[in-house]
Structure 1
Amino acid sequence: MTLNRTMITASTFLIILLLPLPYFFQDAWWVEILIFLLVLSLFSMVFIANRQIRNLSEQHLDLEASNTNLRNEMTTLKATNKQIRDSLAEYRFLVDHLDAFVFNVNIQTDTWLTTDQLDGIQAFENKIHPEDKVNFYKRKEKWLAGQAVRFEFRTVEASGEICWNELRTESTFNESGELERVTGIIIDTTARKVKEENLAQMAFYDTLTELPNRLMLKSHLNKVLSRAKRTKHEFVIMFLDLDGFKAVNDTLGHETGDALLKDVATRLNACVREEDLVSRIGGDEFIIVFEETSKDTVEEIADRIIVNIANPYYISEKEARVTPSIGISIYPEHGTDIDSIIDHADKAMYVAKSKGKNRYQFYDLELEEYPQPKETFIAKFRKLFQK
């Protein structure tokens, strides 16, 4: 560009010098031709220079536009970079303050990154409960193959405490569909498990005596009946009502009555076998379920219950006494469904009361002749389950 300007300036200066030549050489035709060529050359250079200037201007505009775009992209990149840094900071804060173990596996290089850089996931694997090891390693094979998993397992701490954990994984695949990474998290769910157990305790166990309640009894009886039909075995229901309990409540107070019921529950559990179910179905009424047992064994247990329940109770320096009236029915001899078996045990219990209390009575058809209460227990039983 500078060279063009120098040439134009020189040519212009030369033309100015040559302009007087025709006056000195009026008959010299070559002078006019020389001047014409010089002028033509000058105009050519001016045209080329203008074209170059126009091209440079266009290039300058393009450069300015590119520069503006670059500045915009830089601004966007800076904003994105800040968002990434902020997100990473938030992620790190959450990971550091989360009561959980996070890991990331690079499948291609078999590289593990964990929140605990010292022990890694090996720390969990070393503590897995023996009963959960097989399932844990089966699930591990699945998640390392790219399958998302979610399962619970137990660990045994150095103190001997058993803790519950939940493991979840997610997989990342590349554009070719190949597994690249697996990200996982292990959460301590012990507190939730304890809460769930407490809720189950409240739902299926009597809050006063901690015996199974009527809901648990119903579920248990359905299973017992199914097993008995499948194996063609008998099972026995023992219906027990406390004689004299109302008098204890009226004379010694409800707190003493509640304490007595708790003591009765303890004595009943001490009288039966480990596999037998003792349940409180309300007030001073209890039902005991026996599977695969003989009539002689049931009679022995009933005798033990009568002796133990009739012994005096000493509560807050007060003496209280109750006795049991027990009705017994047997599947399938006395009924083939739960309602009829409970109903017959209830009738037998009322006959035991009418015969003097503190005794047991097996059901038989002759008991139908004895007077019965206006509302049978099975009717009350159904009402309780409808609530």
Structure 2
Amino acid sequence: MELLVIISQVFLYVCFSVLAGSFLLLLIPESQRPDVKIPKYLLLASAVALPIFAFVPVLDITLFIAPRLGLFESFKIVLTTYTVGTAWSFTHIGSILLVLVVGMMRPNEKRIAAFLGILLTFGLMLSIAWSSHAGSMVPLKGITGHFIHLSAVSIWVGVVLIVGWFAVNHNHWLEFLNWFSKVAIGCLAATAISGIVLMNIMVDGYTDSWMVSYGQGLLIKHLFLLPLIFYALINGVIVKYQLSKNAAFNPIPWIRLESLILLVIFTITAFFTQQAPAHDNYLTNDAVSSLFRLFHDGVIDPSSTVGFAVNLPVVYFFLPSILFIGLMLLSIYKKASLLLPFLFSCLFVGCIYCMLMISVVVR
């Protein structure tokens, strides 16, 4: 069931991104973006799928308590007394309204429908934030932090996904970059600030949290931000320079590459949000992450902390990471297949991860 919950959360984030990105682009004048052909069925499918994917955590809790109370009684209790159940009811209602807005959208009324659609999408994000782990631990700060985090990421990812895969040309790309670069920077800043707020709620110490699965997920997610920012800079700086020199240059493949990295981050986020938060009372020898155990197999207890030491194996992984950065640049220069720089990005993250894990000293 845990795997099903993780998969549902990945698709939930993708649906939010598709909706937020699509509605935002429809609000932007055509002279400020490339021509995008967003299928209406994609918006309808995303709106319909939201309550389905959001229901999986509700089902998970229901099945957990069903052996004691029965399936129907458990479902009724989860819907009426659990925050995740009550939030899902609002998600269901909001999704129905969103389906109606998209279904009745006419070509000459797209901007009005997009405005209503993005408001409803943000409302649905708020309901998801309400049912989050952080929201249950510190309601005001947790819900606000999760909402800002989800909204900022969905806008950034959504625009990248829609433009990367549904743009029919790269007309007005420089005009598009002029405003989207500022939006992406704002989303990155909002994501970072809200992420710090959420980390302060969910973990007692960032590096100490690496000893459990939740912290491992945080670390790997943050490491994938490095190639993401790298490609975002390429799209915002190098691509802009190339287009100013050559109007026929096609920038779409590189924004698609950025979207692939973002989808990896979504998957990692969906995985680690299902793990127990990294507090001292969770840190027992049995609760230590299997990934962390690959590097450190000693006894770990609630008093254990993480320190760092530089040694020769650390250098062995640092040097290949520099090499993979060079290969990422080379593959872009040679206009290689998207899979090649994506593979180099994953190998770069793997090297940095191994370097950090080897440098760790448990005290």
The answer to whether TM tops 0.5 is no
Q: Per residue, is there more strand in 1 or in 2?
A: 1
Higher Rg: 1
Higher relative contact order (CA 8 A, sep 6+): 2
Normalization by structure 1: what TM-score? Answer: 0.25
Q: Per residue, is there more helix in 1 or in 2?
A: 2
